[in-house]
Amino acid sequence: MTVEAQKETLGFQTEVKHLLHLMIHSLYSNKEIFLRELVSNASDAADKLRFEALSNDGLYEGDSELKIRIDFDEAKKTITITDNGIGMTRAEVQDHIGTIAKSGTKQFFERLTGDQAKDSELIGQFGVGFYSAFIVADKVTLTTRKAGVAEAVRWESAGEGDYTLETVEKANRGTEIVLHLKDGEEEFLNAWKIRSIIKKFSDHISLPIIMSREVDAETDDEGNETAAAHLEDETVNTASALWTKSKDEISDEDYNEFYKHVGHDFQDPLTHVHSKVEGTNEYTLLLYTPSRAPFDLWDRDSKHGVKLYIRKVFITDDAEQLMPRYLRFIRGVIDADSLPLNVSREILQQSKQISAIKTGAVKKVLGMLEDLAENQADKYQSFWEQFGNVIKEGPIEDAKNKDRIAKLLRFSSTHTNDKTQNVSLADYVSRMKEGQDKIYFVTADSFAAAKNSPHLEIFRKKGIEVLLLTDRIDEWLISSLTDFDDKHLQSIAKGELDLEQFDTEEDKQHQEELNKDFETVLSQMKDVLKDKVSDVRISHRLTDSPACLVTGVYDMSLNMERIMKEAGQAMNMMGMGGSKPTFEINPDHGLVKALKNEQDDSRFADISHILFDQAVLSEGGQLDDPSAFVHKLNGLLQGLLA
């Protein structure tokens, strides 16, 4: 068949140029990873072909022995990586090589700082892939033919602004990548060097990786040649699926390198779990926790990271059914023994076996995290910093495992008064005061606002610990996590506080007197603020601040209300509007005391409004009418100075 050679020159997407530049400059000390990345892609391509061929044997084109070849040519200064995997069509080459289609790419590049050390860390989150070829090559020629398609295409680029695409002929299916090495990279034109890189990075690849080896001529005792010098193919890797080996055959290095392959990451993982589950529904899992969040962790469309295999045949790497969303950062493989090979996506979605595997896999992952928390506190802390906010979705999404997930949670607390979230609910419970039966928390939209919340005053005075919840997700978390260890989680900004048990007789008497003492102030104030509050009462929470706002036990917290407003939710539409907070005043505060003797009604009203607005502000809230606040405050200040 003759194909007309259509050749066109196309420009790289801006992000690709950026990525190439960054890669070439920041990965220089780690050059040899290019081989790992290209071998990893070749192996994925073989996996994809094997899967497609399950339903269409013809795709093998008579060649079902999938393998990867690595050759080099000292004279031409080239290294060639060849696979007989799925290959790519012209459109696919254009989509995959030359464009980065991953969602969130743009935002990722906006985060780059120009500081090479920092950026090269970031690039790890992104994954380097094919473009790493340009770390060592100044020209790359990729020729590929998709299985079952006649037309082949050649892509070529010097890694600068553009690339060419050309229709060519290619007998064998699959992809061949020729790296034209830069001057100075000759060290890679060496069989021993390449072999040792493969051993180090790609030994776990389950396809054979083949290199030619020179075999010397053989001579007999008299020096007559009995066999001529020749080349022999040699498999340089172990070529068995890593997860099928037993643990004691696998080194930490092997585990780490395999992670980099399946996780498309170039940093070591934090921890892993490897286990074979026996029974009627047998499966093997090898799952990892990355050490760093991928750039698209918060992207709704981000891919799930667990690959499904059935008896070593790759099925899909987008198996939502295998991990719940709150564990979407987990990477690795699950290899199911007892599923039929001819599964479709639809079957997967409904499969009882898959859902049983998911249940089991989630347990293993939780076990892995529990183990990390228990035995490697530093690592767990760094895990929490990367993924804590995702784990907090757990109790909402996975009610069955709520108790286990709750134990994994970490918070800031008044015990440490530090922003670092490192207090577990169990820590809290172990420090509860005698007679205390609730776990107290306050929510706010920043650590500073939480730490300085007026609601905390009485708790600090009585020495009762309070959790400081300042992540957005916390409001949702505590709406589904209402109890831990039979103790109710109680917001200190909601309802009456039943701290009476910690009061002395004296305290109680004092409060009765106060209520009488302030009767008129309370009713007058209630009248002034009737549009804003449902009640005004003497506070048992405050020691230093003059006033604070309290919401009803079943009402939305003020912080939640703020989040909803920001998210553009119309309050009345949600049927949640109208619940006004209670206003509490501190009878020991000078300002409040002075109000008892205030004769001027309009000044009384102004001060009441100012106290109300201050209470909103001190919890990090926003005033409905800031200029009215300023106006009233200035009026009072002027009165002082006059």
Contacts with ligand ADP by CB under 6 A lie at 41-42, 45, 83, 85-88, 96-97, 127, 129-131, 175, 264
Q: Which CB sits closer to ligand ADP, 146 or 410?
A: 146
Nearest residue (CB) to ligand ADP, 96 versus 363: 96
Task: Give the shortest CB-338-to-ligand ADP separation in angstroms.
Answer: 30
Q: Which residues pair with 538 in a beta bridge?
A: 585
CA 240 – CA 220 distance, rounded (Å): 38
Q: Are 105 and 15 in contact (CB under 8 A)?
A: yes
User: Smallest distance from the beta carbon of 101 to ligand ADP, in angstroms?
Assistant: 8
* Nearer of residues 129 and 394 to ligand ADP, judged by Cβ: 129
Residue 598: is it exposed, middle or buried by C-beta count within 10 angstroms (0-12/13-18/19+)?
middle
CA distances (Å), origin 615, targets 45, 495, 548, 611, 632: 61, 16, 5, 6, 15
Q: Residue 42 or residue 194: which is nearer to ligand ADP going by CB?
A: 42
By CB atoms closer than 10 A (0-12, 13-18, 19+), residue 352 is exposed
As measured in angstroms, the least distance from the Cβ of 91 to ligand ADP is 12
Q: Which is nearer to ligand ADP, 295 or 380 (CB)?
A: 295
Instruction: With CA atoms as reference, report the closest residue to 229 among 213, 245, 244, 240.
Output: 213
Q: Which is nearer to ligand ADP, 52 or 503 (CB)?
A: 52
Q: Provide the minimum distance between the beta carbon of 68 and ligand ADP in the complex, in angstroms, as a whole number.
A: 9
Residues 61 and 150 sit within 8 Å (Cβ to Cβ): no
- Shortest gap between Cβ of 331 and ligand ADP (angstroms)? 12
For residue 454, the Cα-to-chain-centroid distance in whole angstroms is 34
Sorted by sequence, the CB contacts under 8 Å of residue 510 that are 6+ apart come out as none
CB closer to ligand ADP, 83 vs 584: 83
Report in angstroms the alpha-carbon separations of 622 from 64, 387, 562: 67, 30, 8
CA distance 466 to 492: 8
Q: Where are the beta strands (DSSP E) in 239-330?
A: 271-277, 283-289, 306-310, 313-316
Q: Is 332 left (phi over 0), alpha (psi -120 to 50) or beta?
A: left
Which of 83/474 has CB closer to ligand ADP?
A: 83
Rg value, the chain, Cα: 33
Alpha carbon 316 to chain centroid, angstroms:
21
Least distance from ligand ADP to the Cβ atom of residue 178, Å: 13
Q: DSSP letters along 45-70, please?
A: HHHHHHHHHHH-GGGGTT-----EEE
Cβ proximity to ligand ADP, 72 vs 447, nearer residue: 72
* Residue with smaller CB distance to ligand ADP, 13 or 244: 13
Which residue minimizes CB distance to ligand ADP?
129
Least Cβ distance, residue 144 to ligand ADP (angstroms): 6
Q: Which is nearer to ligand ADP, 132 or 284 (CB)?
A: 132
Helix (H, G, I), strand (E, B) or coil at 264: coil
Comparing CB distances to ligand ADP, the nearer of 97 and 152 is 97
For the CB of residue 381, give the shortest distance to ligand ADP in the complex, in Å: 29
Q: How far is the CB of 612 from ligand ADP (least distance, A)?
A: 55
Give me the least distance between CB of 42 and ligand ADP, in Å please: 5
> Taking the complex as a whole, how short is the minimal distance between the CB of residue 15 and ligand ADP, in angstroms?
12
Q: Minimum distance between the CB of residue 131 and ligand ADP, rounded to whole angstroms?
A: 6
For residue 22, give Cα distances in angstroms to 12, 107, 119, 584: 15, 16, 8, 57
Taking the C-alpha atoms of residue 459 and residue 466, their distance in angstroms, rounded to an integer, is: 7
Cβ neighbours for 415, distance < 8 A, ≥ 6 positions apart: 423, 427, 428, 431, 465
Give the span between the Cα atoms of 24 and 35, in whole angstroms: 15
